[in-house]
Structure 1
Amino acid sequence: MNLKQYLIPQTLKRFHSQYNNDIELVAFSGSTRLDMGGLTQSGEIIEKIWKKALDDLLPQDFSPHSILLLGFGAGSAAHLVSRRWPKARITGVELDPVVIDIARKHFKISSIPHLTLHNQDALDFVNQQDSQLQFDLTLVDCYLGDQFPLQLESLKFIKKLTQISPFVIINRLFWGKYQPLTLDFHHRLKPHFATSTTRTTSNYLISIQKQRGVGD
């Protein structure tokens, strides 16, 4: 990596897929990141967002045996949870095969122990699971560029998530035009689920748990 790449972001390679037309591998400040739809999708920024969520929204003594990552991307969340809970079994679900290929070639996901990766739509994957607890923790980061799929906002989908996982955390964008969309989504959840939140400068993270006797 040359000096210019430390000072100014440099696009190393561009990719296209049927799901994302603006995929870039970018070198900057001594590291490589994945950008999609003009947004950073991997690296230190993403890890900091998820670290805050795990620190703020989970019990202090929480130690999951199985973790589901919906919207695997380049694997930043997987690297983070693997370092925190090295014995945990990690299941990643990623819609875009091009992104999976990039993650394997450029982001060292093969070094993550106990990882199983599925090239599948998150909605289809979740709907195929039996309605019983299978994952101790689920992290949802299913953006296509800057768009959160509407079908993943449905109460039916969220209910199924809480049936297969007692702790669900959803990452949402939270600046400019995204703020009212994210707040509306959270507002629609409140009558049906127990929720708590934390946020960073740009993101709003919602922890969702099934309320006892509600939504069954």
Structure 2
Amino acid sequence: MGKINFVLKRLFSYIIPINIHKQKSSVSKNLEITWTNGELVLDSKNTNYSYGSLQRILRKGLDSIGFKTILKMEHIIVLGVAGGSVIKTLTEEIKFKGRITGVEIDPEIIKIANSYFNLDKISNLEIVIDDAFEFVLKTKNKYDLIIIDIFQDTTMPNFLFEEFFQNRTCFLLKDKGIILFNTMCLSDKDNLRNKKYLENVNTELYTARTIPRVEEHNELIILEKK
């Protein structure tokens, strides 16, 4: 009976989204698991948090970097795990076998990711419950790829765009390392914020490029260490 219900919900989700779980979180506020167009997605009140459009956005960034390039990497860090869709892309589609560290401030969202998306079954993944800013300050490791995907519903914390955080994440890159930064642009103010971030890049040490308007409101920023 359970399997039949699973199939029916998935089929009906092509007609109308079917919510199967709602939960409050002190950090992320409202969290929902919904069947949409045949796939299970994690949403906050106003935006997609994992899978669905977000997975397509970050996959486009990874594709731009190059799957072959990623396969040669040793250690990737994801700042902002949520349901772990980008981690699933790395491990299931790209077949990345190196180390992945996921940093997530909200323990409740990780419980959901483990229950609905089997994140805890990924053997090369280590989850750290911590504030991304604090973790970036403390870590002694260097990384081949830093994925920044941090949102509070439709807003982004200001620290992500501060020069100190930008310099610190760049410092944590190995030679030829890459930063993939997912940003949301809903206003002219957001566009100016991104422009300033790019202007602060040290072009003698890093190349910077963007993939604008991915899924309408997202802009991906890619920094590569020369």
SS of alignment partner, residue 14 of structure 2: helix
Quick one: which amino acid aligns to residue 61 of structure 2? A
Deviation at 1:160, TM superposition (A): 0.7
Matched residue, 2:183: 172
Deviation at 1:61, TM superposition (A): 3.6
Runs of at least 5 residues in structure 1 that lack an aligned partner in the other structure: 212-216
Matched residue, 1:214: none
Quick one: which amino acid aligns to residue 78 of structure 1? I
Aligned pair 1:9/2:17, yes or no? yes
Distance in 1 (alpha carbons) for counterparts of 2:124 and 2:151: 25
Matched residue, 1:27: 35
Matched residue, 2:209: 196
Deviation at 1:209, TM superposition (A): 3.8
Matched residue, 1:89: 99
Distance in 1 (alpha carbons) for counterparts of 2:50 and 2:201: 32
Question: Mapping of 1:40-51 within 5 angstroms?
Answer: 40-51=48-59
Judged with a 3 Å threshold, the aligned counterparts in structure 2 of structure 1 residues 113 and 186 are, in CA distance, closer, same or farther, namely: farther
Aligned pair 1:158/2:173, yes or no? no
Question: Mapping of 1:13-162 within 5 angstroms?
Answer: 13-57=21-65, 61-62=69-70, 63-83=72-92, 84-130=94-140, 134-162=142-170
SS of alignment partner, residue 160 of structure 1: helix
Distance in 2 (alpha carbons) for counterparts of 1:183 and 1:205: 15
Distance in 1 (alpha carbons) for counterparts of 2:112 and 2:57: 22
Deviation at 1:91, TM superposition (A): 0.2
Q: Any conservation in 2 of the 1:95–1:121 contact (CA below 8 Å)?
A: yes
Q: Any conservation in 1 of the 2:161–2:197 contact (CA below 8 Å)?
A: no
Q: Which range moves more in the overlay, 94-103 or 179-188?
A: 179-188
Scaled by the length of structure 2, the TM-score of the pair is 0.83
Q: CA RMSD in A?
A: 2.0
Deviation at 1:183, TM superposition (A): 4.0
How many residue pairs match? The answer is 207
Q: Which range moves more in the overlay, 102-111 or 42-51?
A: 42-51
Runs of at least 5 residues in structure 2 that lack an aligned partner in the other structure: 1-5
Deviation string 1:70-118 (CA, Å, 9 cap, x unpaired) is 0001010001112314311100001111100000000111232310001
Judged with a 3 Å threshold, the aligned counterparts in structure 2 of structure 1 residues 107 and 40 are, in CA distance, closer, same or farther, namely: same
Deviation at 1:28, TM superposition (A): 1.9
Q: Of Structure 1 and Structure 2, which has the larger fraction of its residues in strand? A: 2
Deviation string 1:150-182 (CA, Å, 9 cap, x unpaired) is 0121111111101112211110113x42x5414
Quick one: which amino acid aligns to residue 179 of structure 2? V
